Amino acid sequence: MKSEALRWIVFFPLIGAALNGLLIRSKNPYLSGAIGTLAAFASFFTSLIIFSQNGFSTHITDFLFTWFSTGNIKVDFALEVTAVTSVMLLVITGIGGLIHTYAVSYMSHDESPWRFFAYLNLFLAAMLTLVLSQNLVGVFLGWEGVGLCSYLLIGYWYKENKNTEAGMKAFVTNRIGDLGFLVALFIAIRDFGTLNISEILAFVSGPQAAALGSTSLLIFAAGIFWASTGKSAQIPLYVWLPDAMAGPTPVSALIHAATMVTSGVFVSLRLWPIFEGQAQLLEVILVIGLSTAWLAALIALTQRDIKKVLAYSTVSQLGFMFAALGIGAPVAAFFHVVTHACFKALLFLGAGSVIHGMHEKQDLLEMGGLQKKMPLTHGTFLVGTLAIIGFPLTSGFFSKDLILEKAFVKSPVVYFLLLGAALLTAFYMLRAYSLAFWGKPRTKEAEHAHESHWLMTVPLGILALLSVVVGFFEVPDILGGIHKFTEWVNLSWIGWTPQLGGGTAEAHHLSHLAEWLLVLFTTGGSLGIAYLSWKKFGQIQAKSAVESNPGFFTRLSENKFYVDEIYGILFLKPLAFVARTGSKIVDHSLINGALHGIKDSLNLSGNVLALFHTGGVQTYTWYLVFVAALSICVAIFSGWGVL
Amino acid sequence: MELFSGLSVTQFHVGIGVLLFCIGVSGFLIRRSGLIALMCLELMLNGVNLCLVSFSNLHRNPEGASLVLFIVLVAAAEAAVALGLFVAIFRKVGTVSLDDLRSLKG
């Protein structure tokens, strides 16, 4: 089905960005914010209208123009909605709109709110391009666009060096990943002969793919996965995400928790039929997802900056999603993307509210006792915390439970590893929550903290509500058995039959008793650990009580397992050495030498010629006479036939 | 008509012209004073004039002789301008020695 309205989902934020960034450039945060927020919500309602008219998971396309065409490759600027896209659209524009609303108040003291909202809207436009595009080139355009906006927004407060450096780190790390995307594009052009996603999927299930052999499919999928490790912050390219917290908090919530970082999972999902055939690659994805979930959770245990805790938690949850992909459960992974978008955006915005109330203090040890000063923030943050640790009937409970159940079906070892990471999540989240909101205020700022403006608390409330209800789209059989989400998402891959049994609802082979046991075990463990953590950190009165002598593992965790330092020695130092040596040889010796040589020879010849230029009229006459005499001689001698 | 043995009138006159020209050139090159240089210039011009007249006579063609009139005219004008210039230079610099006038050097 065709729909012209589809393009407006992308155009509205683009128009908002142009208005804010190019035309109006208002210093009034409410004017700039209103433009940005309206643009986001306009997209949201456009999506809602389209879905209400056409049904939620209809295949809708919108052709704008042919971008370029060369040989047998034709790239259109065309948009396409499948089921998985439509869910993503609502997440991006809905949560994006709420975060824009929140940002109006959060950025109200900023010098250039127009710049902020222009970047934010530009990000939305790029993200929507990524999600909606019909072909991989359009996806790549959006992929790079969100990377650019991420860079711009991390370094938004560019006057501090640390922020711009974090932005550059994010940008460069993502470039390393993007190489994989390019490789995948080249493979698609060479071997599949098309860049259109549905045509690629049709090709892969067709007879030519079998003739092609599995190598190019493997390289294609591996390239996409490598790009995803960059964008979605997996080992080995996750290091940029914690540093990205240098950006304003709404940015962390929108880009680095809810939307952009999940685009790796999203692209893998759109191309799922290709991934499904690559059993070895899936094992690699599983291992990487698991280790990322563990490593990030271990680091999050000891971080003191509230945003860093949430950042590592995001990395860890993304690890969960990739682990789910690795065990062949794309729907579970995508369900976790959606629920995670709700509760992690909520947590980040809550943290932003705390930071705002604490006058830009982010250290957990300097907080304490905020539950009475900021009751609304406390309540919503608590809901977010409960959702992420999987408190029964919150959204995190359903999505995490789905992943763990699929993991158990795959192998109990995977289940226990994932469960370990989930228990760590419960521990560090309750630690952060208790340190911030319980105990006694530990600094002056904490004593004088104040509740935030209603523009900030209302989005918090809506997100808290979402964090609870979104989970009810997919409920396990033992609790009533709703499988709406699975049904929708399975419609994304038309004409595709699942091979691993991960995609469909009837795929689990567990008895009800086993399922009950699993759920009770998982939830009981998480809640137990959460209680212990709350006991340990909820009563801390003074800052010094926490700053004891750290042990070996604490130090390891506090220093993020020295990964940045190891990368520094392994990659940055040799690279800098090569660059410096290269510049010495090529720049200083070759290029400079050649240029100086030219300059010197010109100088010398000029100096020699200048000797003849005395300024005396008689000297010049001498030259004249000399040349005249020479000419006469030549004339005479040639007359004689000598010359 | 022969003046000296083996030399025709034309040859004699042209020889005198060349001699005058060479004297002019050497004077211009050797002497330092601007005024003398000017006189040497006149010598050169007149050497050329003499040649022109004698060739004109030889070929029975009045063009050469008429060109001389122009040269005399230009030489007179040039002498007037140059003398005026030297007066002005002398007022400004205090000398007309060619060795000291080197401001043409870039």
A411-449 residue pLDDT tens: 889 999 999 999 999 999 999 999 999 888 888 888 888
* Mean pLDDT, chain B, integer: 89
Segment holding A61, helix H or strand E: strand A60-70
Q: Which residues is A474 bridged to in the sheet?
A: A483
Gyration radius from chain A CA atoms: 31
Best B32, B96, B98, B103 residue to mutate vs chain A (most A CBs within 10 Å): B98
Average of per-residue pLDDT across A107-129: 93
Taking an 8 Å cut-off on Cβ atoms, the answer to whether A615 and B28 are in contact is: no
For residue B102, the chain A residues in CB contact (below 8 A) are 614-616
Q: In this structure, what token pair is assigned to residue A134?
A: 């019909």
Query: Residue A76, SS3?
Result: strand
Taking an 8 Å cut-off on Cβ atoms, the answer to whether B98 and A617 are in contact is: yes
A320-379 residue pLDDT tens: 999 999 998 898 999 999 999 999 999 999 999 999 888 888 888 888 888 888 999 999
Taking an 8 Å cut-off on Cβ atoms, the answer to whether A614 and B105 are in contact is: yes
Q: Which of A164-178, A289-303, A465-479 has the lowest mean pLDDT?
A: A465-479
Query: Residue A480, SS3?
Result: coil
Give B89→chain A minimum CA distance, Å.
15
Pick the residue with more confidence: A5 or A136?
Answer: A136
What percent of chain A has a predicted confidence (pLDDT) above 70? 96
B103 at interface of A, judged by CB pairs closer than 8 A: yes
Pick the residue with more confidence: B46 or A513?
Answer: B46
In this complex, how many residue pairs, one in chain A and one in chain B, have their CB atoms less than 8 Å apart?
Answer: 27
Taking an 8 Å cut-off on Cβ atoms, the answer to whether A617 and B29 are in contact is: no
**pLDDT above 50: residue A505:** no
How far is the C-alpha of A107 from the C-alpha of A99, rounded, in Å? 11
**pLDDT above 70: residue A546:** no
Are the C-beta atoms of A378 and A450 separated by less than 8 Å? no
For residue A626, the chain B residues in CB contact (below 8 A) are none
Residue B101 banded pLDDT, cuts 50, 70, 90: confident
Please enumerate in sequence order all residues whose Cβ is within 8 A of that of A34, keeping only pairs 6 or more positions apart, or say none.
A104
Residue position matching structure tokens 């006058």: A359
* Closest residue on chain B to A613 (Cα): B105
For residue B106, the chain A residues in CB contact (below 8 A) are 613, 615
Taking an 8 Å cut-off on Cβ atoms, the answer to whether A613 and B106 are in contact is: yes
Residues of A with CB under 8 A from a CB of B: 613-618, 621-622, 625
The pLDDT of residue A509 is: 62
For residue B105, the chain A residues in CB contact (below 8 A) are 613-615
Residue A198 dihedral angles phi and psi, to the nearest 5°: -65, -35
Q: Which residues is A453 bridged to in the sheet?
A: none
Residue A503 banded pLDDT, cuts 50, 70, 90: very low
B28 at interface of A, judged by CB pairs closer than 8 A: yes
Are the C-beta atoms of A77 and A50 separated by less than 8 Å? no
Taking an 8 Å cut-off on Cβ atoms, the answer to whether A621 and B98 are in contact is: no
Q: Which of residues 38-57 of B touch A (CB under 8 A)?
A: none
Taking an 8 Å cut-off on Cβ atoms, the answer to whether B101 and A621 are in contact is: no
Taking an 8 Å cut-off on Cβ atoms, the answer to whether B29 and A613 are in contact is: no
**pLDDT above 60: residue A623:** yes
Pick the residue with more confidence: A618 or A490?
Answer: A618
The pLDDT of residue A56 is: 67
**pLDDT above 70: residue A548:** no
For residue B25, the chain A residues in CB contact (below 8 A) are 625
For residue B28, the chain A residues in CB contact (below 8 A) are 618, 621
For residue B18, the chain A residues in CB contact (below 8 A) are none
The pLDDT of residue A372 is: 87
**pLDDT above 90: residue B6:** no
Cis status, amide bond into A236, omega within 30 of 0: yes
The pLDDT of residue A501 is: 44
Average of per-residue pLDDT across A266-276: 90
Give B31→chain A minimum CA distance, Å.
9
According to the 3-state scheme, what is the secondary structure of A410-448? HCHHHHHHHHHHHHHHHHHHHHHHHHHHCCCCCCHHHHC
Best A611, A617, A619, A626 residue to mutate vs chain B (most B CBs within 10 Å): A617
According to the 3-state scheme, what is the secondary structure of chain B? CEEECCEEHHHHHHHHHHHHHHHHHHHHHHCCEHHHHHHHHHHHHHHHHHHHHHHHHHHCCHHHHHHHHHHHHHHHHHHHHHHHHHHHHHHHHCCCECCCCCCCCC
The pLDDT of residue A478 is: 81
Query: Residue A633, SS3?
Result: helix
For residue B103, the chain A residues in CB contact (below 8 A) are 615
Average of per-residue pLDDT across A405-411: 89
A127-169 residue pLDDT tens: 999 999 999 999 999 999 999 999 999 999 999 999 999 999 9
Taking an 8 Å cut-off on Cβ atoms, the answer to whether B104 and A622 are in contact is: no
Give A602→chain B minimum CA distance, Å.
17
The pLDDT of residue A500 is: 46
Q: Which residues is A63 bridged to in the sheet?
A: A78
**pLDDT above 90: residue A306:** yes
A11-70 residue pLDDT tens: 999 999 999 999 999 889 999 999 999 999 999 999 998 888 877 667 888 899 999 888
Residue B4 banded pLDDT, cuts 50, 70, 90: low
How far is the C-alpha of A581 from the C-alpha of A349, rounded, in Å? 46
The C-alpha torsion from A345 through A351 and A356 to A357, rounded to 10°, is 130
Are the C-beta atoms of A436 and A309 separated by less than 8 Å? no
Average of per-residue pLDDT across B55-82: 93
**pLDDT above 50: residue A576:** yes
Residue A484 banded pLDDT, cuts 50, 70, 90: confident
Pick the residue with more confidence: B96 or A602?
Answer: A602
Measure CB to CB from residue B29 to each of A613, A614, A618 and give the nearest one: A618
Q: In this structure, what token pair is assigned to residue A534?
A: 């709350």
Measure CB to CB from residue B104 to each of A615, A621, A625 and give the nearest one: A615
Average of per-residue pLDDT across B34-51: 93
- Highest averaged pLDDT of the listed ranges A73-87, A378-392, A550-564: A378-392
* Mean pLDDT, chain A, integer: 89
Give A621→chain B minimum CA distance, Å.
7
Taking an 8 Å cut-off on Cβ atoms, the answer to whether B25 and A625 are in contact is: yes
Taking an 8 Å cut-off on Cβ atoms, the answer to whether A621 and B29 are in contact is: yes
How far is the C-alpha of A246 from the C-alpha of A155, rounded, in Å? 7
A164-216 residue pLDDT tens: 999 999 999 999 999 999 999 999 998 888 899 988 888 888 777 777 777 88
Q: In this structure, what token pair is assigned to residue A222?
A: 């591996």
How far is the C-alpha of A631 from the C-alpha of A619, rounded, in Å? 18
Taking an 8 Å cut-off on Cβ atoms, the answer to whether B102 and A616 are in contact is: yes
Measure CB to CB from residue A615 to each of B25, B28, B102 and give the nearest one: B102
Residue A556: C-alpha distances to residues A363, A429, A505, A552, A563 (Å): 19, 19, 42, 6, 10
B82 at interface of A, judged by CB pairs closer than 8 A: no
Which phi-psi region, left, alpha or beta, contains residue A635 (left: φ > 0; alpha: ψ -120 to 50)?
Answer: alpha
For residue A615, the chain B residues in CB contact (below 8 A) are 102-106
Secondary-structure percent of chain A, ordered helix, strand, coil, rounded to 5:
75, 5, 20
Measure CB to CB from residue B105 to each of A615, A621, A625 and give the nearest one: A615
Best A611, A620, A621, A624 residue to mutate vs chain B (most B CBs within 10 Å): A621
For residue A628, the chain B residues in CB contact (below 8 A) are none
Taking an 8 Å cut-off on Cβ atoms, the answer to whether A615 and B98 are in contact is: no
Tell me the whole-structure pTM to 2 decimals. 0.80
Average of per-residue pLDDT across A494-510: 51
* Closest residue on chain A to B33 (Cα): A618
B101 at interface of A, judged by CB pairs closer than 8 A: yes
Question: A331, A343, A337, A341: which is closest to A476 by C-alpha?
Answer: A331
Average of per-residue pLDDT across A268-281: 89
